[in-house]
Chains A and B, each alone.
Chain A
Amino acid sequence: MSLDGDAATMTATMPPSGKPGHARAQITAKTYRKDRWWVGPVLTTLGLAVFIVYATGRVFQQDHYFVEAHHYLTPFYSPCLALQCEPASAMFGTLPFEFPWFLPYALVSLPFLLLFRFTCYYYRKAYYRSIWQAPTACAVTEPHSSYTGESRWPMVLQNLHRYAFYIAVLISVVNTADAIIPLFHGTGGGFGIGVGNLVLIANVVLLWAYTASCHSCRHAFGGRLKSFGTKPVQYWMWTRISRLNTRHMQFAWITLASLMLTDLYVALVASGTITDLRIFN
């Protein structure tokens, strides 16, 4: 009880409180909720697990990441930095050595993309609830005996989410280039468009939607201001970002799926399992 005797003297905007003997209702049930409150956390865990398993497998596969004919590069390997990257896939050149099996080719982007999502305000909610179970669901007693949240090291580092966002913007620029360049590698050279192009473009548009709807982005582009009065441009941006921001959760899940699908498409074409359907050239 925090309401001890000393507190009693300090609480008079209330019925004289902290009376000795006041205690919470002694209710032992973990919750009286009758709905299926556990479904959400279970689905979240499954969703995240599917992505992690798939992504891990693909990142360490070190194969089927590039379609030479149309320069399709999967986002999981962009930018490709290992010496063994196919030359045309390495937009920024490569490092002077071959990567061992445990180093992802996209060494500089993947950790930050992971960090961006790990520190994302939405994903935090998702894994705190489903994996960490703090709380598993609202008004359901959590299993932990103590809790300090993000107030201490190392969780306090979550406050640096904005840096992950800044880097994510740079990576999104690279992804955008990855989506545009293949447009100029049609079957006969020059401009061309196929299903692969559409997949890459759709994916990068969604990635931008996820990145731009980030809470840190909303803060940086206007939310931090005390008054919008003299800053119409920032106000305009803030309102637009705010609107996107209400769908941040949806974008978070959609982009997990679109990343996997995009990668899968590139992998299937690169491995020759399917052929890219060309719409024009």
Chain B
Amino acid sequence: MSEIQRHSYDVVVIGAGGAGLRAAIEARQQGKKTAIISKSLFGKAHTVMAEGGAAAAMGNVNAKDNWQVHFRDTIRGGKFLNNPRMAELHAKESPDRIWELELWGALFDRTKDGTISQRNFGGHEYPRLAHVGDRTGLELIRTLQQRVVQLQQADAAELGDPEAMLKVYAETTITELVKDGGAEGRIAGAFGYVRETGDLVLFETPAVVLATGGIGKSFTVTSNSWEYTGDGHALALRAGAGLVNMEFIQFHPTGMVWPPSVKGILVTESVRGDGGVLRNSDGKRFMFDYVPDVFRTQYAETEEEADGWYEDPANNRRPPELLPRDEVARAINSEVKEGRGSPHGGVFLDIASRMPAVEIMRRLPSMHHQFKELADVDITAEPMEVGPTCHYVMGGVEVDADTGASLVPGLFAAGEVSGGMHGSNRLGGNSLSDLLVFGRRCGLGAAAYIDGLGDDRPVPDADVVARAAEESVAPLERTDGESPYAVHQALQTMMNELVGIIRRGPEVAQAIEDLDKLRPRVERVRATGGRAYNPGWHLAVDLRNMLVVSEAIARCALEREESRGGHTREDFPGMDPEWRKTNLITRLVDGGVALKRQPLDSLRPDLLALFERTELAKYLTEDELPAEDGADAQEDTA
């Protein structure tokens, strides 16, 4: 066993995306010595992929917008399963977080008055998304990165060392959180390795902020990058924290499945809105067969009528391609499963035969350009192969809304890795503001926690460190065992097929069985080569995380017998108000994923009053509804 490098910090932030950087900035601003740990280079986080914008009720474009309206939109989007306190804080604080970015150098697009311009987005009642063209995520990450540099510059001037108080450990992976030996089980450190050298490293710290993003790499088709292996989710589980509602995963119905160079890249819904149609391998426009009864009256029954809608929506019903996301996804899923899919497991999205090339280029210029450049696919000449694509996980570490604290003392979480904020479905634009609001709150929460500790700093349990060290290098030391790439592929394929966008009870049960069979394979993967920058080894280590997170997802997906937001059960197609009140919490008990149901906090009366009673009736049980005519709002106190 080689020597372990040791560093000591007040706060260690795992993840250098939007949430991680914002948390680190706050911790440093609170005077805490902070480390940022990133699996990739500084500034490369997945946050750069966010295009739409950051939702914040600044009211620059429509003065009627305010935090209550934003809150209402968020709760509606999440189908009333959101943690109400998080949604409230988010709606209230987003504008300040955006304005603060401006003082750090962000350059958002402007209105005529010179204020930050805001754009419309699905699910938001008013134009609300602060944006920079279609690269808002990049602007956000760059601004936070440059703020980190600015703070380092201040430390350089004052203390002589830019890294005295805030240091980025790039290309470093944390494999285990280390607690002290005490009964409370407080966080005492974070153990991992430096990717470049393979050196093992221990960060001694009383406070860890998880900001590791999502879990997309457990699925075959995903818009997520390699980093999204659910590290934070798994670290939290192993440290004893709970995950909330892991069954809720946002799948986009039309991500590219082929060619490989664009696999996972999303094809915006506007392609269908502008006339794109879905066809199966027989060339049939199959969506007509999938219009559910409840939508029957609103959607066209013939191709003629559907085609008439684009020009004359008043006298024609909508084409079935424009059914809600989950319906479209369900239809694609069925076609593929019944053997009528495209050669690469999707269906065809055809806009090329629907309108002249010049018209497509006029309406969808960036789409056309992107696929032409990345894949030499000409969407004006040939149909695209699309299928459901894993995009975002709503579930995550169960945290306190105000401080981001998990149930484990000293462990905090913000951003995609935390759960609750988005309920069962996230609105576009809410993720970027979520990062900023709760990133900051985690930084504050961690700082306050440390202040509360005084001199009573937890000490890492030496046995745990030794074990973590052994486990992390084990794949390199095995002389036989499977390639991690093969096992990863098996896991992805299984999850994609059995716990994908549309779920059936028996299939999910099968997935849990399959995961049991995968476990010994994961435990025995072998990485060839040395320790210096060895991607095979890195994947072998990450596999462990993907496995446990996949199990949490599968168990929750089997348990929740309803369909809501990012969880669609074909055998339970409706929303159930009883389930609306229920969070599913997964924890690790004796090495296995254990599940429990836990009631969700109800909405405060003043927040409940933001909704019409008729709307509430669709979601809440009879008992939860406020009295009619608003005679007595007291009944609904939490």
**A16 — nearest CB in chain B belongs to which residue?**
B194
Interface residue stretch chosen among B166-174, B356-364, B465-473, B572-580: B166-174
Q: Contact between A13 and B195 (Cβ–Cβ < 8 Å)?
A: no
Give every chain A residue within 8 A of B152 (Cβ-Cβ): 13
The verdict on A10 contacting B42 (CB below 8 Å), with A15-B170, A16-B194 known, is no
**B197 — nearest CB in chain A belongs to which residue?**
A19
Give every chain B residue within 8 A of A14 (Cβ-Cβ): 41-42, 168, 170
Interface of chain B residues 140 through 155 with chain A (CB within 8 A): 148-149, 152
Give every chain A residue within 8 A of B161 (Cβ-Cβ): 9-10
Q: Contact between A13 and B197 (Cβ–Cβ < 8 Å)?
A: no
Give every chain B residue within 8 A of A9 (Cβ-Cβ): 161
**A22 — nearest CB in chain B belongs to which residue?**
B196
Interface of chain B residues 445 through 459 with chain A (CB within 8 A): none
Q: Contact between A13 and B42 (Cβ–Cβ < 8 Å)?
A: yes
Main secondary structure of the interface of A (DSSP, over half): loop
Interface presence of B163 (CB below 8 A): yes
Q: Contact between B163 and A15 (Cβ–Cβ < 8 Å)?
A: no
- Tally of contact residues, A, Cβ under 8 A: 9
Interface presence of B59 (CB below 8 A): no
Q: Contact between B194 and A15 (Cβ–Cβ < 8 Å)?
A: yes
Interface presence of B259 (CB below 8 A): no
Interface presence of B409 (CB below 8 A): no
Q: Contact between A15 and B196 (Cβ–Cβ < 8 Å)?
A: yes
Interface of chain B residues 420 through 454 with chain A (CB within 8 A): none
CB distance from A145 to the nearest CB of B (A): 32
A39 to B197, CA, bound (A): 43
Q: Contact between A13 and B168 (Cβ–Cβ < 8 Å)?
A: yes
A10 to B167, CA, bound (A): 10
A52 to B231, CA, bound (A): 66
Interface presence of B240 (CB below 8 A): no
A277 to B171, CA, bound (A): 74
Interface of chain A residues 1 through 31 with chain B (CB within 8 A): 9-10, 12-16, 19
Q: Contact between A12 and B197 (Cβ–Cβ < 8 Å)?
A: no
**B163 — nearest CB in chain A belongs to which residue?**
A12
Q: Contact between A15 and B162 (Cβ–Cβ < 8 Å)?
A: no
**A11 — nearest CB in chain B belongs to which residue?**
B163
Interface of chain B residues 37 through 51 with chain A (CB within 8 A): 41-42
Interface of chain B residues 95 through 134 with chain A (CB within 8 A): 114
A14 to B171, CA, bound (A): 8
A15 to B161, CA, bound (A): 17
Give every chain A residue within 8 A of B172 (Cβ-Cβ): 15
A155 to B28, CA, bound (A): 46
The verdict on A10 contacting B162 (CB below 8 Å), with A15-B171, A15-B172 known, is yes
Q: Contact between A13 and B194 (Cβ–Cβ < 8 Å)?
A: no
Give every chain B residue within 8 A of A19 (Cβ-Cβ): 196-197
CB distance from B12 to the nearest CB of A (A): 14
Give every chain B residue within 8 A of A16 (Cβ-Cβ): 169, 194, 196-197
Give every chain A residue within 8 A of B171 (Cβ-Cβ): 15
Q: Contact between A15 and B195 (Cβ–Cβ < 8 Å)?
A: yes
Give every chain B residue within 8 A of A15 (Cβ-Cβ): 169-172, 194-196
Interface of chain B residues 148 through 201 with chain A (CB within 8 A): 148-149, 152, 161-163, 167-172, 194-197
Give every chain A residue within 8 A of B163 (Cβ-Cβ): 10, 12-13
Give every chain A residue within 8 A of B114 (Cβ-Cβ): 229
CB distance from B402 to the nearest CB of A (A): 31
CB distance from A21 to the nearest CB of B (A): 11
**A14 — nearest CB in chain B belongs to which residue?**
B170
Select which of A10, A12, A229 is within 8 A of B168 by beta carbon.
Answer: A12
CB distance from B67 to the nearest CB of A (A): 31
B-contact bits for A59-87, CB 8 A (1 contact / 0 none): 00000000000000000000000000000
Give every chain B residue within 8 A of A12 (Cβ-Cβ): 163, 167-169
A16 to B163, CA, bound (A): 12
CB distance from B109 to the nearest CB of A (A): 16
A229 to B112, CA, bound (A): 11
**B35 — nearest CB in chain A belongs to which residue?**
A12
Residue among A12, A13, A19 with max Cβ neighbours from chain B (10 Å): A13
Give every chain A residue within 8 A of B195 (Cβ-Cβ): 15
Residue among A10, A15, A19 with max Cβ neighbours from chain B (10 Å): A15
**A10 — nearest CB in chain B belongs to which residue?**
B162
A15 to B42, CA, bound (A): 9
CB distance from B379 to the nearest CB of A (A): 28
CB distance from B68 to the nearest CB of A (A): 34
CB distance from B150 to the nearest CB of A (A): 12
CB distance from A235 to the nearest CB of B (A): 14
CB distance from B254 to the nearest CB of A (A): 37
CB distance from B578 to the nearest CB of A (A): 51
A253 to B171, CA, bound (A): 48
CB distance from B113 to the nearest CB of A (A): 12
CB distance from A227 to the nearest CB of B (A): 11
Nearest 6 CB-CB pairings of A with B: A15-B196, A13-B168, A12-B163, A15-B171, A12-B167, A13-B42
Contacts A15-B170, A15-B171 known; 6 new A-B pairs at CB < 8 A: A12-B167, A13-B148, A13-B170, A14-B42, A15-B194, A229-B114
A-B contact pairs, 29 of them (CB 8 A): A9-B161, A10-B161, A10-B162, A12-B163, A12-B168, A12-B169, A13-B42, A13-B148, A13-B149, A13-B152, A13-B167, A13-B168, A14-B41, A14-B42, A14-B168, A14-B170, A15-B169, A15-B170, A15-B171, A15-B172, A15-B194, A15-B195, A15-B196, A16-B169, A16-B194, A16-B196, A16-B197, A19-B197, A229-B114
